[in-house]
Structure 1
Amino acid sequence: MKILDKYLLKTFLGTFATVFVILFFVFILQTVWLFIAELAGKDLDFIMVVKFLAFSMPRIVPLVLPLSILLASIMSFGNLSEHYEFAAMKSSGISLQRAMRTLTIAIGILSIIAFLFANNVIPYAEFKFINFRKNIAQAKPALAIAEGQFSDVGLYNIKVNKKSGENGNHLTGITIHEKSKNGDGSKTVIRAKDGELISSDKTSILQLVLNDGNYYQDIVPKKYEDRDKLPFAKSSFKKYCINIDLSALNKVDTKDETISNTNTMLNVSDLGYTLDSLTKNRNTDIVSFSENSSTRLGSLVDNNAKTNLKKKPFTKDILSLYTNKQKAEILKTASSNTESNIYAIDATKTELDSKKKNINGHLLALYDKFVIVYACFLMFFIGAPLGAIIRKGGLGLPIVFAVLIFISFHFINTFGKRISQEDGLPPFFGSWMSSMILTPLAILLTYRATNDIGLINMDVILSPIQKVFQKIFQKIIPSQNK
């Protein structure tokens, strides 16, 4: 390795390490801010807080790494240009591409490390992070319920106005929304004046004892016309016990397709296996529904009618083959079958859309592991030429350009993934949209920096304006001379 390569590599890596540490610290503070409701005022000991932050740190790397490479590239090459070191290189016959060659190899190694990190460390950390947040409820049951907000605890959403006692087990002003178990849309609301949380280390059952309250439950009638009346049942109680099984909260199976956000806890091979299973399952549901629909329609023509149809093969009015009583029954059956089929179609469509979104989420998670590799190269080939063009180092102008470019990249990436999640765009394009849009910028900047062309050619913009003013002055000046 030549002295120049060592110098450029040392300059870049030193700047990159400094920038990465600073940005990582900033994003950690953002994480603390996002989860402040889960950390503040819950008497968490120092070890639990450290674990909480440690498990959430790896998810920050895909955001910090491309931004650090971008900013370090602009600062490093901006310093070289500002101190005329690039001018000395070019006078010695060393081009920009030659100067970037060693750093490109370094970025390649860094990209491989980033892929391995995203494929192995981040899924494990996500699994531990989600599992740890749920384990808090079992380690310290009172922490599962926060003051002044609804907390999701198993099959219940619980809100309390105030917690008291040594472990926060005494609750005041309790409101509980119980989730529907059978999916019929019914709602159950429980309100109590006060209550107490009772738990034991020997069992995973959390017992919530409520005092002086009321129990409200919506009733869903079988007849659709009665549902508009919104009937409900109300009862009062002096003491009411709710048993919450916390063991179900702490079991996170990465192979279970019903768990939301499981895609973030899988590596490439697991995602491939899961995607194959999800796709086959959805395709099987489609085929099964189409076969069941044809069977469900049935036949409205009985054997007698078939016999009559043979006698009258050219009749156009099939109902004329039946008596008035039979016609009424046929029309009633047809109407009932139609409503049943419409309901089945709507329900199946909702289920298939949900499964499609789940598949899209897994595809996005799969592509994201490769996008971070390309993003490292992309940000380097944007930052290095840009630094050489603007000829400014330090933390001033480079930060402005880096933030603008990264915000654009992150916004486009988020926008594309949101659309793809809702099946409005293929997941591949949703994940790679930001890279596709910014790649021409990297090519343009590299071309302009290689050919010593400025960031913006002001002559192209000012020349037409100058010609317009010249024509105006030529018309004004001769008229004054006359």
Structure 2
Amino acid sequence: MILYRYILRAHIGPFFFSFFALILIFLLQFLMKYIDQLIGKGLGFWVIAELIVLNLAWIIVLAVPMSVLVAVLMAFGGLSANNEVTVMKSSGISLYKMMFPVFIASIVIALLLIVFNNKVLPDANHRLKVLMIDIHRKKPTLTLNPGIFSTDIPGYAIIVRKTYEHTNEFEDATIYNNSDPGKQIVITAKRGKISFTPDYRKLIMDLENGEIHEQDMENKNLYRVVKYAKYRVVMEVEGFGFERSSDNAFQRGDRELSAGDMLRIVDSLKNIQKKIYESLNSIALTNLKNPFYGRTIMSSSFYQPAVQDSVSDYEALITSSQKLISLNAIIKNHLTQIEYYNRSIDAYMVEVHKKYAIPFACVVFVLVGAPLGMMARRGNFGVAASLSLFFFLFYWACLIGGEKLADRDLLSPFLSMWIANFVVGALGVYLTIRMGKEAMIIDWYRIKEIMPRRVKTWLGIPEEEEILTDRYAR
């Protein structure tokens, strides 16, 4: 037990270091992607904080398996570099016993991640979708640029010659009021100040020293000019205030449901499909010819036998052809519905398997990470990140590509989500068995010859003489 605790303790630091590093990377990627949609919206601190917290849900799901792989590579690489693995093997402790506590810990992490995927992630994704819709619906804060017409407010066109950003004041303003089709109103002002009501539903412009020009559009001879010292214009506006929608305002998608909820939806879709198939069978038995017995089982209403009168004969043929066209349309409609429900079922099943396949990657990455870490004999983050990069790219490429193939019904949802685990797991089992029988190492000397100096420095690969010393010392 002391040895198990020592091995697990060697994983804790690298795991949390890589975990928080990956969270930071994903958050930066998210902010860079959506920064243009958030800037200028006038969002409060707590709204931005909630947006970041809700995004942490899906980030955690991706970061945990990746952190497990990096931690296993760093931990076993460090143990191997310090010759602690050699000491353990000489004491009669096999590679399988060294991996046992880490393997159990990965199973526990995978189970906790499955619970997280079904309890926390769906609600977080749904609240995130509602929040993003509310943010997109909010208009940017009103800005008046000198010399440029602003048409953000429906029915009004505003132009100013000079603005004061810190006081919301302006000079030499002209306001064209087109809200009333029967009148044309132009308001000028030497100075003014702009503000919103507390609920952001109305815009208030306090104007000073100006004129109001009003002309009746039906009677062009009616023209009125009013001079004022102070005048207030109140405009009805929408979308400038941030309004929150309720969590039930929008229907949940497949990524906003737990596995149990999606399986119930799949059962209901299969029941609908079953009824469509029964309807098709009924149509076939009623109107189609049985090829095995060579007899027509068409109903009398569909097929009308020809009579001696040629006019009636043509009418019967026309009626039969019309019914054939109608029957063809009905069958095509049924087949289209079946195909639609098949795609819907595949989409839900992909998400169901994804909720279990990604957590299981924690176990798979232990199988492949432990022998690779021992072979690398390097316990720094650079080597662990470089070795794990290939598996990350392969794994996520399989998930994304598998999801696309499953949505097109070219691959089963189960295989599309689990194929990466099968391939990486098989490689991990092979490397574990090979490493358990014989000591294998990565020849950094060969790799160093084709690497640029900057890459070697980042990976922590020593210079040539150090590699030769380490190589021949073993």
Match of 2:76 in 1: 77
Indicate conservation of the 8 Å contact 1:108/1:377, yes or no.
yes
Match of 1:313 in 2: none
Distance (whole Å) between structure 2 residues aligned to residue 268 and residue 301 of structure 1: 50
Q: Unpaired runs of 5+ in structure 2? A: 142-147, 158-176, 180-196, 202-237, 289-296, 444-474
Match of 1:277 in 2: 268
Code of the residue aligned with 1:411 in structure 2: it is A
Q: Does 1:378 align with 2:377?
A: no
Deviation of residue 341 (structure 1)?
3.2
Indicate conservation of the 8 Å contact 2:406/2:412, yes or no.
yes
Residue deviations 1:386-418 (CA, integer Å, cap 9, x gap): 101121221233222101011111111221221
Deviation of residue 202 (structure 1)?
12
Code of the residue aligned with 1:351 in structure 2: it is Q
Distance (whole Å) between structure 1 residues aligned to residue 178 and residue 106 of structure 2: 58
Q: Does 1:341 align with 2:357?
A: no
Indicate conservation of the 8 Å contact 1:137/1:143, yes or no.
no
The residue matched to 2:381 in structure 1 has which SS?
A: coil
Paired residues, what number?
354
Residue deviations 1:136-183 (CA, integer Å, cap 9, x gap): 466x3x369xxxxxxxxxxxxxxxxx9947xx545999xxxxxxxxxx
Residue deviations 1:445-471 (CA, integer Å, cap 9, x gap): 1112212342689xxxxxxxxxxxxxx
Indicate conservation of the 8 Å contact 1:16/1:72, yes or no.
yes
Code of the residue aligned with 2:13 in structure 1: it is G
The residue matched to 1:396 in structure 2 has which SS?
A: helix
Distance (whole Å) between structure 2 residues aligned to residue 137 and residue 406 of structure 1: 32
Residue correspondence of structure 1 range 412-431 to structure 2 within 5 A: 412-431=398-417
Distance (whole Å) between structure 2 residues aligned to residue 340 and residue 37 of structure 1: 52
Match of 1:398 in 2: 384
Match of 2:395 in 1: 409
| Most deviating of 413-422 and 323-332 | 323-332
244, 254, 257: which one pairs with 1:263?
254
Code of the residue aligned with 1:86 in structure 2: it is V
Q: Does 1:361 align with 2:336?
A: no
Cα 1:31–1:163 change in 2 (3 A) is: farther
Code of the residue aligned with 2:272 in structure 1: it is N
Match of 2:185 in 1: none
Cα 1:201–1:351 change in 2 (3 A) is: farther
Indicate conservation of the 8 Å contact 1:163/1:169, yes or no.
no
The residue matched to 1:418 in structure 2 has which SS?
A: helix
Deviation of residue 299 (structure 1)?
6.6
Distance (whole Å) between structure 1 residues aligned to residue 267 and residue 282 of structure 2: 23
Deviation of residue 252 (structure 1)?
6.4
Return the index of the structure with the highest Cα Rg: 2
Match of 2:5 in 1: 6
Distance (whole Å) between structure 1 residues aligned to residue 427 and residue 350 of structure 2: 24
Q: Unpaired runs of 5+ in structure 1? A: 145-161, 174-193, 204-242, 307-317, 458-482
Q: Does 1:450 align with 2:436?
A: yes
| Most deviating of 89-98 and 13-22 | 89-98
Match of 2:17 in 1: 18
Deviation of residue 21 (structure 1)?
0.3
Indicate conservation of the 8 Å contact 1:164/1:170, yes or no.
no
435, 441, 464: which one pairs with 2:427?
441
Indicate conservation of the 8 Å contact 2:376/2:442, yes or no.
no
Deviation of residue 250 (structure 1)?
5.0
Distance (whole Å) between structure 1 residues aligned to residue 279 and residue 131 of structure 2: 39
Cα 1:163–1:328 change in 2 (3 A) is: farther
| Most deviating of 421-430 and 41-50 | 41-50
Residue correspondence of structure 1 range 39-438 to structure 2 within 5 A: 39-136=38-135, 140=138, 142=139, 164=150, 168-170=152-154, 259=251, 262-291=253-282, 319=306, 321-438=307-424
Code of the residue aligned with 1:352 in structure 2: it is I
Match of 1:150 in 2: none
Distance (whole Å) between structure 2 residues aligned to residue 126 and residue 59 of structure 1: 8
Deviation of residue 128 (structure 1)?
0.9
Distance (whole Å) between structure 2 residues aligned to residue 414 and residue 420 of structure 1: 10
Cα 1:19–1:169 change in 2 (3 A) is: farther
Indicate conservation of the 8 Å contact 1:163/1:172, yes or no.
no
Deviation of residue 437 (structure 1)?
1.7
Distance (whole Å) between structure 2 residues aligned to residue 82 and residue 374 of structure 1: 29
Distance (whole Å) between structure 2 residues aligned to residue 329 and residue 455 of structure 1: 86
Code of the residue aligned with 1:329 in structure 2: it is E
Distance (whole Å) between structure 2 residues aligned to residue 172 and residue 445 of structure 1: 71
Distance (whole Å) between structure 2 residues aligned to residue 442 and residue 99 of structure 1: 15
Query: Alpha carbon RMSD of aligned pairs, Å?
Result: 3.7
Distance (whole Å) between structure 2 residues aligned to residue 455 and residue 253 of structure 1: 56
Distance (whole Å) between structure 1 residues aligned to residue 52 and residue 178 of structure 2: 32
Cα 1:85–1:124 change in 2 (3 A) is: same
Indicate conservation of the 8 Å contact 1:163/1:171, yes or no.
no
Distance (whole Å) between structure 2 residues aligned to residue 276 and residue 83 of structure 1: 55
Cα 1:34–1:163 change in 2 (3 A) is: farther
Indicate conservation of the 8 Å contact 2:111/2:359, yes or no.
yes
The residue matched to 1:57 in structure 2 has which SS?
A: helix
Q: Work out the percentage of aligned pairs sharing the same amino acid.
A: 25
Cα 1:432–1:302 change in 2 (3 A) is: closer
Distance (whole Å) between structure 2 residues aligned to residue 274 and residue 57 of structure 1: 27
Match of 1:32 in 2: 31
Indicate conservation of the 8 Å contact 1:56/1:129, yes or no.
yes
Indicate conservation of the 8 Å contact 1:300/1:330, yes or no.
no
Deviation of residue 293 (structure 1)?
6.8
Deviation of residue 75 (structure 1)?
1.1
Distance (whole Å) between structure 2 residues aligned to residue 332 and residue 201 of structure 1: 68
